[in-house]
Chain A
Amino acid sequence: MAMRYPQGVDVAAAMAAGFVLDRCEAVPALIGKAEDFLIVTGLAGTARDIAALTHDSAQIYTMAGAMGGAAMIGLGLALARPDKRVLVATGDGELLMNIGALATIAVLNPANLSILVVDNGHYGETGWQRSHTSLGVDLEKIAIGSGMQRTRTVGSEAELADGARLLREGNGTAFVVLRVAPAEPPSYKRNFDPAACRNRFRDALLGPG
């Protein structure tokens, strides 16, 4: 399916800067078998990516508010469940809102945590304003500077397999920036009730009661 570009976005500039992949294909390719992960998402785009991928399953916790919290929810979950692989899938804007979380996470460096940033260089939900990553900010370098040792930037189809491998290997927190075109994420109507989603997730993971 062809990518759907929102009106007013400078697609040529984004492509020239390396934001070319179709998130609707690249995110599923990177994650592979989603059932292997407990997944926490950011708002809007990544929530839709993961809800569409998993049919809004009980092993995902998607957000639609509390922006900036995804990575740290992932850390709390990863520390609580060292027996499970935890994936945080969030956007560039959501991560930037609490970029200090990378420092907090790097210090602890849990081996069962992977962070996937679906970086489209824009705030897609608020009118496609350019984000800092379209203006020179490099999230992988920030992760490296925070002390993370297992990092990648994936910008082409040829790099997907290496990124996918990193997300699943476990000798330290993995951080993968997936650069994608500023195009619409998949359409998916997910559960927006944060308390219902909490209960659903806990029931599936911990059993009822």
Chain B
Amino acid sequence: MATDAGERWQDALYDLLRRHNVTQFAYVPDAGHRILIDRSLADPGVHSVALTTEEEGVALLAGADLGGARSVLLMQSSGAGNCINMLSLAKGGRFPMLMLLSMRGDFGEGNPWQFPMGQAVEPVLHAMGVIVLRAEKPDDVISTVEAALTMVFQSGNAVAVLLTQKLLGAKAF
């Protein structure tokens, strides 16, 4: 999946986030976010925060906002389930939150363990007041995340952009 075209949209995505003054990158390591994570680690202008579980990242995003900074939470779809109660900060506290999810348990998935959470991502996030957008192909990514950035940091929403398996390709088993 690490094709040249794939590399390009991920680099463009990192540059887009930086242009919008995102300075805290929080993540549980994931292959789908490898380039973003590596770029954040190499960038002296941002804090690259490796989490032990995704809900830590939801709380980090709220703290960054209290201090006037912009942040993003990168996770795999399985991590969405780990965030649910902490997303009370989004729905109740109206903290702006930008989340990018690399999907599993979705288009062409070969690991049956990934389906329960993968298929539950959208209804579970909707239940907690998170707006869900999907990117299905490389050309979608920048415009979708650009829209999400406006919805989050201008309008004060919590938005998850799903980087789908149609976009990323299904992991081979």
Interface residues of A (CB under 8 A from B): 38, 40, 61, 65-81, 84, 98, 100-101, 103-104, 107-108, 194-195, 197-198, 201-202, 205-206
Contacts and interface: CB of A to CB of B under 8 A. Distances in A.
B114 interface: no
A75 B24 CA distance: 11
Question: Which has the most chain B C-beta neighbours within 10 Å: A38, A71, A195, A198?
Answer: A198
Interface string B85-128: 11011001111000000000000000000000000000000000
Given A81-B68, A195-B94, A75 B63 contact: yes
Given A75-B60, A76-B61, A98-B55, A66 B66 contact: no
Interface of B: 23-24, 47, 49-53, 55-69, 71, 85-86, 88-89, 92-95
A65 B92 contact: yes
The list of the 8 closest CB pairs from A to B, nearest first, reads A76-B63, A80-B67, A100-B52, A69-B59, A80-B69, A72-B59, A194-B93, A73-B63
Contact of B85 (A67, A103, A108): A67
B24 A76 contact: yes
A77 B66 contact: yes
A75 B68 contact: no
Contacts of B50: 104, 107
Nearest to B61: A76
Contact of A98 (B47, B56, B94, B95): B56
Nearest to B56: A72
Question: Which has the most chain A C-beta neighbours within 10 Å: B49, B71, B93?
Answer: B93
Given A100-B52, A104-B51, A195-B92, A205 B63 contact: no
Interface majority SS (helix, strand, loop, mixed), chain A: helix
B94 A76 contact: no
Contacts of B95: 198
A197 to B, nearest CB: 8
A202 B93 contact: no
A80 B64 contact: yes
Contact of A104 (B23, B52, B61, B71): B52
Nearest to B53: A100
Contacts of B49: 75, 79, 104, 108
Contact of A76 (B53, B60, B88, B92): B60
Nearest to A74: B63
A79 B86 contact: no
A198 B47 CA distance: 22
A81 B67 CA distance: 6
Given A80-B68, A103-B52, A198-B65, A73 B60 contact: yes
Contacts of B61: 76
A75 B23 CA distance: 13
A202 B66 contact: yes
Given A66-B85, A100-B56, A202 B65 contact: yes
A79 B25 CA distance: 11
Contacts of A77: 63-64, 66-67
Given A79-B69, A81-B68, A194-B92, A66 B51 contact: no
A100 B60 CA distance: 13
A103 B52 CA distance: 8
A104 B95 CA distance: 21
